[in-house]
Structure 1
Amino acid sequence: MLARLTEAAEQGVLLVTHDNAELMWLRRHVGTDDIAEPESHLFCFQHEWDASTPPERARLTIKGLAEFYPDWAFWGYDAALLWGLEVPNDLLGPRYLVKTGCSVALSTGYRLLRPQAAGALERVDGVRVTPFWRTVEDCLLRAPFSYGLAIADSALRAKGMSRNDLCERLQADCEGRRGYRRAQVIASHADGLSENGGESRFRAFFIAYGFPVPELQGEFRDPLDSSQVFRVDYFWRLEDGTCVIGELDGKGKYTLQNGEGRESVDPFVAERQRESHLTMLGHKVLRFTFDELKNPGKLVEKMGLAGIPQRVDLAEEWKRQWYGR
């Protein structure tokens, strides 16, 4: 069994078993011999599971369930994850299952969708899921603003579409459905230039709290080495002529002139050097950490200290659109 677990780990999947003898052996060793059972009948090495990110764990679980239950199909955030969209960790809780004739106890907490509501199903990485745009629409109809923006941004990025295209698609497919108004608010602010969910969620904060929406992925030549280009997450050009660069921590963004990435031996040193070089351009550099989203009051104060103006009328307009008042 250890050999089979090793083989599954090398293939990047969970070990799925229908055999009672195998199941009994594996369960006897769960918790004591580096073996975990993250979902019933699905097994892996505990250290592999512990080292996996929440999206990786969710993908492994969904693929394992699809192997164990071949008639299962997935929708909503689960399908979005399989389609490669940016699904924030907080949305990776209960499974989203299309009720295709399978028997699922309500006690599982699964979010069930009637087959006739799911439409034609497709296969992604061997798993049956709702079609791409149906999946995006299902997510936007129920997602909180910042989470939905991450999904919408990644959908536009994946398909090379504009926000107007997305708004028109929503109107054609979803008008009159519960959550439609909020889905349109999300779509109206979507931008495929956003490169990851973190960038999208900070932009959602700027929008909801009345700050000007920055330019995305601006590029600047390194003043000390013209062969290098810095691409920044956010760039504000303020009315008084001040320019502010915004950077989300935790990503190295050195790019050679030919577009190839350059590895850094010490990311911390590279980030500090990068910031000092950007400062030489004469712009303020404002750094963000993901935890700051948990304290919006402090983040508002930080933006103000950086000279980025907050407009109450913009914040009120967003509230009116989102809450309908």
Structure 2
Amino acid sequence: MKHNKRVDALVRQAESQGRCCFGSNNAEYKALHRRLRVGELVSPYPNLYARSAYWVTLDPSRQTVQVAKALGLQHKNWVFAGPTAAAIWGLEHEWSIHHKRIHIARKYGQGAGSKTSCKQLKYVRMKEVSACRVSNLRVTNPARTLVDCGRMYTFEEVLPMFDSALRKRLTTAAKVELECCTVRKGRHTILRLLFYANPLSENGGESACRAAIIEAGFQVPQLQCEFRDPLDRSKVVRVDFAWFLTDGRTVVLEFDGTGKYVSPHMVGGRSIRQVVADEREREKLLYRAGVSGIVRINYEQLRLRKPLLAALRQIRIPQRVGS
């Protein structure tokens, strides 16, 4: 296919700015659409485009931000909200919540937009719409973003957002409580999320794991506890979760992401064999430090849920009756 130099420039510029591209006139839109038909481009949102080979390298959260950046140029008055705002703020969350949709804020009583509004465009209703600027985009503030997401999704889907917002110091519990007072429904849900939110959670996987533990009625673990080797006091191991139980036992749970064994950043140049050997030494230290039992859970076991719950019951973590 003969390439239009203007379209090539549009695509390059958009990628350099971390957004989707769009045409400014009918000729450019037609040229972009021709490339869409032959598979060179994808269109994640009506009249927005990206190179197919480039788009598949982005996770759904980054894809959402790239669409939002393009729409922000086209609609200067839009305020992005809900999961779209969460992605823009960089909050930890399950990518599946996006569903290729863009959420914007709209006041109660305002119309639903034009008849030609895209089905992928969803409105988050609120009494007053105020905006912060992030990456040159107008978005709801972090506290409002948490409140809206907390009312839209499950406890397990949103606790990672709360943890990461507090960890990054984007907001405070007090500010979230104030925003909670402005909504009509769902206040109890937000207050419950605040009660369990913990900035010590280091990533979304750990937050999701803790949320599953809480929802199943198990005793809430302590986070990022340190254990010192009694044979060498200079050696300290920090664990993801720990229970110091009334029967005298100390139980540790480690959440293992797949990156622990394949990511260059995580393994620090070590071979998989060395990583496994280091983990065994780590476990020996924990047992010497008085740990009674160690549970290892990976993302797949968390997703299936039953392996996680079975492991916690087997190691006798206290659980609410009827859970």
- TM-score category by the smaller chain? 0.7 to 0.9
Contact 1:232 1:245 in 2 (8 A): yes
For residues 1-325 of structure 1, the aligned pairs below 5 Å read 1-30=7-36, 32=38, 34-93=40-99, 94-99=101-106, 103=114, 105=116, 108-113=119-124, 117-159=127-169, 165=174, 168-169=177-178, 172-174=181-183, 177-220=184-227, 230-250=237-257, 251-252=259-260, 264-266=268-270, 268-269=272-273, 271-281=275-285, 282=287, 283=291, 284-312=293-321, 315=323
Aligned residues: 303
Contact 1:162 1:191 in 2 (8 A): no
Contact 1:13 1:64 in 2 (8 A): yes
Q: CA deviation at 1:268?
A: 3.6
Q: TM (normalized to structure 2)?
A: 0.81
SS of residue paired to 2:127: helix
Structure 1 residue runs of 5 or longer lacking an equivalent are 254-260, 316-325
1:223 and 1:19 mapped to 2: Cα distance?
A: 72
1:298 and 1:132 mapped to 2: Cα distance?
A: 34
- Structure 1 residues 187 and 170 mapped into 2: Cα distance closer, same or farther (>3 Å)? farther
SS of residue paired to 1:15: coil
Structure 2 residue runs of 5 or longer lacking an equivalent are 1-6
Contact 1:166 1:187 in 2 (8 A): no
- Structure 1 residues 209 and 202 mapped into 2: Cα distance closer, same or farther (>3 Å)? same
Contact 1:222 1:228 in 2 (8 A): yes
Contact 1:150 1:200 in 2 (8 A): yes
- Structure 1 residues 34 and 109 mapped into 2: Cα distance closer, same or farther (>3 Å)? closer
> What amino acid is the match of 1:91?
I
Q: CA deviation at 1:128?
A: 1.2
Contact 1:167 1:188 in 2 (8 A): no
Q: CA deviation at 1:220?
A: 4.2
SS of residue paired to 1:233: strand
Contact 1:73 1:129 in 2 (8 A): yes
1:301 and 1:4 mapped to 2: Cα distance?
A: 54
> What amino acid is the match of 2:121?
Y
